[in-house]
Structure 1
Amino acid sequence: MSPGSHPSYLHHERPRWQWWALALAIASAYTLGAVGFWKYDVDHGGEGHVLDALYLAAQLFILNAPALPPPLNLPLELGRWLALGILVAAAAITAYRIFTGEVGAITLSFIKEHVVICGRGSIVLDMVRSQRARTPRRRVVVIAAADDTDLIEGCHALHAIVLVGRPSLILERARLSKAKRLIAVYEEDGTNVEIAVRAWALSRASRPSTAPPLDCHAQVSDVDLRDSLRRRHLPVQDGRCRVRFFDFFDDAARDVLLTQLPLDRQGIGHSDPRQVHLVIVGLGAMGRRVAIKAAQLGHFANRRPVRISVIDRAAGEREQEILFRYPGIRQTCDLTFHECAIQSTQGQQLIEGWCAANDTMTSIAVCLDDDALALDVAMRLLPIIHDTSIPVAVRMSRADGLTSLLTEHVAPPEASRSLRAFGWLDEACIARLLDEDAREQMATVVHVNFVELATSHGRQRAFDEAVKQWEDLVNEDYKESNRQQVDHIAIKLRAVGCELVQASESRPEAAFSAGEVELLAEMEHARWVAERLLAGWTYAVKPKNEAKRTSPNLRPWAELEDHIKEYDRDAVRAIPELVRNVKGEKICRRSER
């Protein structure tokens, strides 16, 4: 696995005290038995041969020791009973494992609405543990490799059913025709795609048409591969299996830009002259996800798109790669590349200049693949940002180790104020895979609202893919568009001095004024245009052409017809009810705290 191509998962070290206890018990039983036999021989007039005593002690473990007339000495009594206990315990453990496997095989014939997880290592164990904690009655089936003994033993301890073998060959035994969800999280993207395609084929062949579709989630860390699969609608979505390719990096990038930094701090109002500036140090897998997410989300009330500056040793090569995959990205943001090492004088001078600028709202994301180097770079930035409020997010691949310096208040106060760690797999990421999270629910409602308005304008599902029901959408781009609209809600609210709070709070709920609706609708259109351009769409006169990925609405807000603007206004007006019904929250003015 190349560095940065996949998230690193926490390693749950296998407890070793059982093995030490077993070894100590065997050694004790053998020693006591040997001493006891030797002493018994001596006490009864024998010559006390040591080899004979050792041989007889070994026979204690196979219940073949000679029956000696009493009285027996204490070491011999202790040794033989301890040996018997060890033998009984070993037999019980063996029987338990065999019984567990047989019961699992029998149980598998009757379960339904279960979750199937394919993968290796502790990430799968974390998912099983999380699923059992969230819905104890829902069964979990794990497909594991024969050599992944830690995973197999851990899953048995958590009462999960384990199938051992190559996933594509034994997937049928997991009863996908009755399953609720399949998750593939192998480190190899190709393996996960193979599982998704196989699950799709099995569902088409065996899943009843009246049953809800199987939700299949496959981890694909290669951004380019995932986007290519989405754009080509592979595999074809149908009513029996819904395949979604995801990346843990996506969640991390979205979280750091919207929550941990965030890009717009307390908000960018319509009269704010500053330009939001994101500095990305290192454009590996995580750096690229952060850059793309920033281009998607960085659209603010002052109409100034986000500025993205990249520092990377291979910036020229990285620039060509990103422009090849996202040819429209420069239309969505102010993007520049700087080929140098962050540890160099040039890199330091760039950072110093950006941090000193008064006309920008700067944030820094250190996205290096080496945790130690990333933390070192972040600590060296502290003197530069000491007198500023510039936040620095540091990508860490693990939640333990070096990350604890930032999360456990070990670092100096200035580091705790300015630095924050992001990027590792946590419980929240796992939960989003195991259950439909609020973001997905909100995206579904957003689409329903859009369809209602679109059909009232005469758009027909038979001719327009975008107005089909959520579960019937073949083009994943349309679902992703709704998800990104949900993501942008936080930036919109901050632009008008609002925030989300629990519905039970005593503060009055805010209502958008007509001017705010218009402002936020214009922001939504700018976000939508960026999202379409990054997805490979271009402008062309009417009509919209899905095959060629052209749209007549990829124009500035002022050039749109009013009925097109109404889609964005309607989306803004729906925000209060959306967050109230799905998240149990309401919108309040920050000024009324």
Structure 2
Amino acid sequence: MGDSARFSDVLYNALQLFVLGSPATDDGGPYPLSLEIARFAAPAVTFYALVEALRLVFAAEAERLRARRARGHVVICGDGPVATTLSRQLRAAGHLVVHIADSRSGAVGSRRSLLWVLGDARDPEVLRAAGVARASALYACAEDSATNTAIALAAGRRQRGERPLAVYAQVQDQELCLALQARHLGTSEPPTIRLDFFNIDDVAARHLLAKDPIVPPLDRPPRFLVVGATAFGRAVVVELARQWRVLPPAAMWRVEVAVVDDAATQVIDELSFRYPFLSKACDLRPYDGDLLAVLAGKVAPEAPDRVFICHDDEQVALKTALIADRLWRGGPGTVIVRQDQLATLQDAFDGARDERLFDEVSGTLRLFGVVDAACDPGLIRDDLGERLARVVHESYRAARRRRGDGPDDSPSLAPWPRLADLYKVENRAQATDIGRKLRAIECVLAPRVAAGQEYVFTTQEVTRLAITEHERWLQARLREGWRFAEAADYDRMLHPGIRRWDDLPESIRRVNSDAIRELPGILADYGFRIVRMREGS
């Protein structure tokens, strides 16, 4: 190649070298300096690219092998904000996470705490690659609820013959979540997995009220204002009632909850039907219309102790908080604004003084990130079965108190936090057995989303189900080695109930019968009702 060769020709021939061949170098030289450098650099670069490609392939295979052989880890399926946030929080708590997704976008973590399996989590082979048979839990957090249900089904099939796997499937719609919970709770056969469905608005509301509980005033009931009867707003109303009814002042007052929304009256009617305890624990006051118009009206809500602005549109929620100045008088952190992406703006209001961008209104405003709050692994693990078990236990304690028994009469009467594991397991088993009992009398569970006749057990049904419950309890105690004695001795595993129903004293029969009569009320507390499948059965 002559010295007069054009620069464009030299560049073209140099680039050809990177495919390990160029006609311009076939004549043996001499070559321009640039082409001479390229002639040696090209094979080196090509070799490096090949090595790097092989390294990535083998690294991915090594990661997949580690995931397949992992034990006691957590599997997360999905690549949306819930999946990535949950992955981050679990890894921060010290868990090894295997993340199944279509790509590696989103979550970032060290190889020690985060492993990737690329693929569709509904595919049993992908679940096997994630080591699901030896995992401690699986979270199905895809954006589509049907996909999450399919993942749970696939995980259950992979678990046959294995110890039960805890599976938590995200469902976007609250009513669908309730319906799926009813169908799973109503199964009559022991499930192959421990399954629960969760809705992020419900979990976030539980998180919010757990971290910032109700503090009752001394001389009146507390007052709350919920702006926006969205899914999160409705969940906040329910959680306020749940928390209030177990506080001592609930015996004197009902908590006052005002709801402002264009359809506030309709929403309160629906919630009151779905959760009957609401009208007992709350004085619910609907205000149909826009917040500013309601506050300027003649019949406005009394000054609230705390405000929850729950609009789904984050900008509308933030705008409402910033312009409704009549809500700023409750003190620091009393105006809670539902946010998601914009929750990171909190530092702009209450960060370090030299970093604040906005006036913090004396610290009144608090931006609440729903996704971050809902991705609390502890609250998700506190599933419906666990919560029902607690209600079953509290109903049992109430029945025993009515008979004059106190906490010192039996270790089974201790409050749930101090209850021995033996009795917690028993309450969980009783909650899990609900579906089998209802099937025995040709009944099923349904969500309380439409008006219908309330179910009342007949005398014969109460007796039949009480016998069924005693037989289940008796078989469980016999497997554990309990024996009959006239007087209970819990240390020596002796109990007067270790005998057939016909031989039981009336006092023990009454405990079983009371538990059955209270079952419709327990289920109603969580939005379910009992439905008879065939009239006249």
Partner of 2:496: none
Equivalent pairs counted in the alignment come to 425
Q: Distance in 2 between matches of 1:315 and 1:53?
A: 76
1:3-53 deviation digits (Å, cap 9, x = unpaired): xxxxxxxxxxxxxxxxxxxxxxxxxxxxxxxxxxxxxx4xxx443144532
Within the candidate set 348, 351, 354, 2:302 is matched to 354
Q: Which residue of 2 aligns with 1:196?
A: 152
Q: How do 1:109-128 residues align onto structure 2 when only pairs under 5 Å count?
A: 109-128=68-87
Q: Work out whether residues 398 and 424 of structure 1, in 8 Å CA contact, stay in contact via their aligned partners in 2.
A: no
Deviation at 1:422, TM superposition (A): 1.1
Q: Secondary structure at the match of 1:160?
A: strand
1:187 is matched with 143
After superposition, what is the alpha-carbon deviation per residue over 1:372-404, rounded to whole angstroms, capped at 9, x for unaligned? 111111111235534867821111112655444
Q: Which residue is 2:4 aligned to?
A: 47
> Secondary structure of the residue that 2:72 maps to in structure 1?
coil
Quick check: 1:304 aligned with 2:261? no
Determine if contact 2:244/2:255 at 8 Å carries over to the other structure: yes
Aligned residue in 2 for 1:381:
324
Q: Offset of 1:224 from its aligned partner? A: 2.2
Match of 2:219, SS state, is coil
CA contact (8 A) 1:186 1:219 kept: yes
CA distance in 2, matches of 1:363, 1:425: 21
1:547 and 1:104, CA in 2 relative to 1: closer, same or farther beyond 3 A? farther
| Matches for 1:135-146 after TM superposition, within 5 Å | 135=94, 138=96, 140-145=97-102
Are 2:249 and 1:290 aligned? no
State the TM-score, normalizing by the size of structure 1: 0.59
Q: Distance in 2 between the 1:331 and 1:419 partners?
A: 31
Task: Work out whether residues 75 and 99 of structure 2, in 8 Å CA contact, stay in contact via their aligned partners in 1.
Answer: yes
Give the structure 2 partner of residue 280 of structure 1: 226
Separation in 1, partners of 2:391, 2:144:
34
Aligned-partner Cα distance in 2 for 1:75–1:55: 11
Matching residue's letter, 1:305: R
1:62 matched to which residue of 2?
19
Contact persistence 1:311–1:347 (CA under 8 A):
no
Residue 298 of structure 1 deviates from its aligned partner by 1.8
Match of 2:368 in 1: 422
Q: Is the 8 A contact 1:276 1:362 kept in 2?
A: yes
Structure-2 separation of matches of 1:448 and 1:551: 14
Q: Which residue identity is paired with 1:241?
A: I
**Aligned-residue identity in percent:** 26
How far does residue 218 in structure 1 lie from its aligned partner after superposition?
Answer: 1.5
Name 1:341's counterpart in structure 2. Answer: 290
C-alpha displacement of 1:365: 0.5
Q: 1:242: how far off?
A: 1.2
Is 1:103 the counterpart of 2:62? The answer is yes
Task: Tell me the TM-score normalised to structure 2 length.
Answer: 0.65
Conservation of the 8 A alpha-carbon contact between 2:256 and 2:283: yes
- Residue 325 of structure 1 aligns with which residue? 274
Distance 1:392 1:186 in 2: 32
Matched position secondary structure for 1:544? helix
Structure 2: which amino acid aligns with 1:274? R
Distance 1:450 1:548 in 2: 7
3-state secondary structure, aligned to 1:307 = strand
How much has 1:306 moved relative to structure 2?
1.1
* Structure 1 stretches lacking a partner, 5+ long: 1-40, 356-360, 460-465, 479-535, 555-593
- Distance in 2 (CA, whole Å) between partners of 1:445 and 1:337 is 31
- Equivalent residue in structure 1 for 2:165, among 210, 214, 220: 214
Deviation string 1:504-560 (CA, Å, 9 cap, x unpaired) is: xxxxxxxxxxxxxxxxxxxxxxxxxxxxxxxx99999984364883469x9xxxxxx
| Residue number in structure 2 paired with 1:370 | 313
Q: In structure 2, what is the Cα distance between the partners aligned to 1:350 and 1:104?
A: 66
* Contact 1:277 1:308 (8 Å CA) reproduced: yes
Which letter maps to 1:322? Answer: L
**Contact persistence 1:281–1:342 (CA under 8 A):** yes
Q: Displacement, 1:178?
A: 1.9
Amino acid at match of 2:248: A
Structure 1 residue 229, shift from structure 2 partner? 3.3
CA–CA separation in structure 2 for the residues paired with 1:89 and 1:122: 36
Within the alignment, does 1:94 sit opposite 2:53 as a pair? Answer: yes
CA drift at 1:249: 2.5
Do the aligned partners of 2:101 and 2:118 also contact (CA within 8 Å) in 1? yes
Distance 1:198 1:257, change over 3 A: same
Q: What amino acid does structure 2 have at the position aligned with 1:247?
A: N
What amino acid sits opposite 1:377 in the alignment? T
Between the aligned partners of 2:211 and 2:229, the Cα distance in structure 1 is: 21
For the 8 Å contact 2:223–2:256, the answer to whether it is kept is yes
What secondary structure is seen at the aligned counterpart in 2 of 1:275? coil
Cα 1:468/1:125, change in 2 over 3 Å: closer
Letter in 2 for 1:549: L
Indicate the residue corresponding to 2:122 in structure 1.
167
2-side partners of 1:348 and 1:477: how far apart? 50
User: How far apart, in 1, do the equivalents of 2:8 and 2:91 lie?
Assistant: 53
Secondary structure, aligned partner of 1:165: coil
Matched, 1:229 2:180: yes
Give the 3-state SS of the residue equivalent to 2:105 in structure 1.
Answer: helix
Question: CA–CA distance in 2 between the matches of 1:449 and 1:332?
Answer: 17
Which residue number in structure 1 is paired with residue 214 of structure 2? Answer: 263
Distance 1:171 1:470 in 2: 36
8 Å contact kept, 1:451–1:468:
no
- What is the distance in 2 between the residues matched to 1:235 and 1:85? 66
| Residue 472 to residue 309, structure 1, CA distance change in 2 (3 Å) | same
The change in CA–CA distance for 1:444 and 1:100 in structure 2 (over 3 A counts) is farther
Equivalent residue of 1:298, what SS? helix
Q: Where does residue 263 of structure 2 map in the other structure?
A: 314
SS at match of 1:113: coil
